[in-house]
């Protein structure tokens, strides 16, 4: 697959968002998921085929974890004859069950004509030789079945990991030794922070470790696709990522394996957020933006505009129009993430780092102007500090290799 691709992680109402992004040329395709109805997935596939865009399928088998009796995986439509409804914690560790799962997933990916195979995977939540052995066995079963097909379609092994797995340098090196022993074309990385950092990821240590992991995989000539990402993709681009997939809304702009469970929650009106590339973060559309646009505010609203095709209605007048809603907010966010990544296209590693450094410095200045305007203090400084520190640490890696 080509590099510098931007994909939509097609979740709830995915068909409409994928079509909008592709038609407006700020997406290269989509990653489908089994929790969407099969007809909806086929509709997206047909659309992407017509547009000659990228199609991938994430089986979302990041398990097992404990207590999976209510896991949504039991209802996934690609399982034939519902054999997975007899799933237990122990059965997932059995080779025959894993072989059946891999076979079904490969056949479904062939059926919808994906551009690459994505493997099912075991979520690695702690560094454990036992868990790693189980992960590698499952990955090899999938890879071996692909090899038997004698196909040129690339195979990306899913790597769903918690941050603690790579927090220790020795463990990270050991993990990389295992990964580079797999006969695959690349990896589909899904990263979960142990300390609850979801969106946006702002833990300095986690960011550094993730960038080092990606950078080492790229040095070993693997293709790297980062799933369930968000605007941190702009920072990760410095480590050489080939592709990015952005998740849905604030609660799914990060990887959380628990989100695959059946969770009953009360319906509520979601907060409508305006993402600004100028500050690399969200503002509440109905409160923060409105206050910055008010007659009493001395803030120049143009300072935070991202110039997407979706924001004109938001800044049309001081009273926010009702037409700016969840759909506009999300499409605008996707457009912004794509726009940031376009700045990194065809740039060297040092040029990418300089771009991000300049962006962070400018965002910090803009945030100071927002605070001076009287808007309640936003905790954006932590983001700037952690991203800047992580970037400076990562630069040492590149500089050391150049001088060695």
Give dist(CA 273, CA 332) in Å, integer.
10
Q: Residue 99 CB: number of other CB atoms within 10 A?
A: 15
Name the strands in the sheet holding 54-57, side by side, starting at the edge strand that comes first in the sequence.
Answer: 54-57, 29-32, 5-9, 243-246, 223-229, 186-192, 155-162, 117-118
> Is residue 300 located within the same domain as residue 237?
no
Q: Answer yes or no: is pLDDT of 266 > 50.
A: no
Residue 4's SS3 state is: coil
Q: 181 or 75: whose pLDDT is higher? A: 181
Q: Which residue has the higher pLDDT, 326 or 276?
A: 276
CA distance 256 to 73: 15
What total of structural domains would you count in the chain?
Answer: 2
Q: What is the mean pLDDT of the chain?
A: 85
The closest of 117, 138, 238, 127 to 177, measured between CA atoms, is: 127
When pLDDT is cut at 50, 70 and 90, the band that residue 127 belongs to is very high
Q: Is 268 exposed, middle or buried (0-12, 13-18, 19+ CB in 10 A)?
A: exposed
Which structure tokens are listed for 182? 């797999």
Residue the block writes with tokens 């551009």:
115
Q: Is residue 73 part of a domain?
A: yes
pLDDT number for residue 234: 95
Least trusted range by pLDDT, from 64-73, 319-328, 330-339, 374-383: 64-73
- Bigger pLDDT: 167 or 122? 167
In a domain, 309, yes or no: yes
Please tell me the predicted confidence (pLDDT) of residue 398: 81
Parallel, antiparallel, or unpaired for β 281-284 and 273-276?
Answer: antiparallel
pLDDT band for position 364 (50/70/90)?
Answer: very high
Full DSSP string of 23-77: HTT--SEEEE-TTS-HHHHHHHHHHHHHHT-EEEE--------S--TTBGGGG-T
Q: What are the distances in angstroms from CA 99 to CA 37, 102, 142, 230?
A: 24, 5, 8, 33
Angstrom distance (rounded) from CA 404 to CA 399: 9
Q: Of residues 317 and 207, which shows the higher confidence score?
A: 207
350 and 220 belong to one structural domain = no
Specify whether 157 is located in the same domain as 71. yes
| CATH assignment at residue 93 | 3.20.20.105
In a domain, 82, yes or no: yes
Q: Do residue 292 and residue 252 come from a single domain? A: no
* CA dist., res. 229 & res. 244, Å (int): 7
Res. 70: pLDDT tops 50: no
Q: What is the pLDDT of residue 377?
A: 66
- Residue 84 banded pLDDT, cuts 50, 70, 90: low
- Alpha helices by DSSP H, listed for 306-348, are 326-342
| pLDDT band per the 50, 70, 90 thresholds, residue 291 | confident
Task: Give yes or no: residues 172 and 51 share one domain.
Answer: yes
Residue 295 in domain: yes
Q: With left for phi above 0 and alpha for psi between -120 and 50, is residue 249 left, alpha or beta? A: left
pLDDT attached to residue 250: 46
Residues of the domain holding 319 = 273-403
Instruction: Indicate the residue among 200, 225, 260 that finishes a domain.
Output: 260
In this predicted structure, the answer to whether residue 361 has a pLDDT above a threshold of 70 is: yes
Residue 131 to residue 125: CA distance in whole angstroms: 9
The span from the CA of 337 to the CA of 40, in Å, is 25
Residue 160: predicted pLDDT: 92
Is residue 144 predicted with pLDDT exceeding 50?
A: yes
The C-alpha angle with vertex 27 and arms to 25 and 28, in degrees rounded to 5, equals 105
Whether 265 is in a domain gets the answer no
Residue 233 shares a structural domain with residue 130: yes
Q: Does residue 253 carry a pLDDT above 60?
A: no
Both 96 and 211 in one domain: the answer is: yes
pLDDT of residue 240: 95
Of 260, 285, 313, which residue is a domain's last?
260
Separate counts of helices (H) and strands (E) for the chain? 11, 10
- Residue that is last in its domain, among 232, 260, 288: 260
pLDDT band at 196 (very low <50, low <70, confident <90, very high): low
Do 51 and 198 fall into the same domain? yes
> Is residue 126 one of the residues assigned to a domain?
yes
Give the pLDDT confidence score for residue 67 in this predicted structure. Answer: 41
Q: What is the pLDDT of residue 321?
A: 54
Q: Are residues 247 and 363 in the same domain?
A: no
120 part of a folded domain: yes
pLDDT confidence tier of residue 63, bands split at 50, 70 and 90: low
Calculate the alpha carbon distances from 156 to 75, 225, 233, 370 in Å: 24, 8, 19, 43
Residues 101 and 191 in one domain: yes
Residue 176 has pLDDT above 90, yes or no: yes
Q: Is residue 267 part of a domain?
A: no
Beta bridge partners of 192: 162
- Mean per-residue pLDDT for 272-277? 92
Do 51 and 152 belong together in one domain?
yes
Residues 315-343 pLDDT 10s: 876 555 556 888 889 899 999 999 999 99
Hey, how many other C-beta atoms are within 10 angstroms of the C-beta on 48?
26
Please tell me whether residues 67 and 172 are part of one structural domain: yes
Three-class DSSP category at 334: helix
């Amino acid at each position: 697959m080509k590099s510098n691709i931007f994909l939509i992680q097609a979740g709830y109402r995915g068909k409409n968002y994928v079509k909008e992004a592709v038609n407006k040329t700020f997406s290269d395709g989509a990653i489908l998921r089994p929790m969407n109805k099969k007809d909806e997935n086929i509709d997206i596939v047909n659309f992407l085929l017509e547009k000659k865009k990228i199609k991938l399928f994430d089986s979302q088998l990041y398990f097992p974890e404990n207590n999976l009796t209510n896991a949504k995986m039991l209802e996934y439509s690609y399982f034939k004859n519902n054999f997975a409804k007899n799933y237990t914690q122990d059965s997932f560790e059995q080779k025959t069950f894993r072989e059946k799962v891999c076979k079904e997933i490969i056949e479904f990916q062939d059926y919808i004509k994906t551009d690459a195979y994505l493997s099912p995977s075991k979520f690695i939540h702690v560094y454990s030789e036992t868990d790693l052995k189980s992960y590698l066995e499952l990955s090899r079963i999938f890879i071996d079945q692909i090899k038997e097909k004698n196909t040129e379609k690339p195979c990306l092994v899913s790597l769903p990991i918690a941050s603690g797995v790579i927090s220790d340098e020795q463990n990270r090196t050991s993990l990389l030794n295992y990964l580079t022993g797999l006969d695959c074309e690349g990896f589909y990385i899904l990263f979960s922070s142990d300390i609850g950092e979801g969106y946006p990821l702002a833990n300095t240590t986690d960011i550094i470790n993730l960038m080092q992991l990606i950078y080492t995989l790229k040095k070993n000539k693997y293709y790297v696709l980062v799933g369930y990402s968000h605007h941190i993709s702009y920072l990760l681009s410095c480590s050489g990522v080939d592709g990015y997939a952005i998740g849905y809304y604030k609660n799914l702009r990060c990887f959380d394996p628990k989100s695959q469970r059946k969770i009953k929650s009360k319906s509520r009106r979601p907060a409508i957020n305006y993402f600004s590339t100028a500050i690399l973060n969200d503002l509440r559309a109905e409160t923060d933006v409105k206050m910055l646009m008010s007659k009493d505010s001395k803030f120049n609203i143009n300072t935070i505009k991202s110039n997407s095709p979706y924001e004109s209605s938001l800044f049309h007048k001081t009273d926010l129009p009702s037409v700016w809603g969840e759909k506009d907010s999300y499409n605008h966010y996707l457009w912004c993430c794509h726009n940031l990544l376009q700045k990194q296209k065809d740039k060297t590693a040092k040029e990418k780092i300089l771009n991000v450094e300049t962006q962070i410095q400018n965002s910090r200045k803009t945030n100071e102007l927002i605070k001076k305007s009287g808007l309640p203090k936003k905790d954006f400084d932590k983001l700037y500090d952690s991203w800047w520190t992580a970037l400076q640490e990562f630069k040492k890696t590149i500089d050391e290799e150049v001088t060695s």
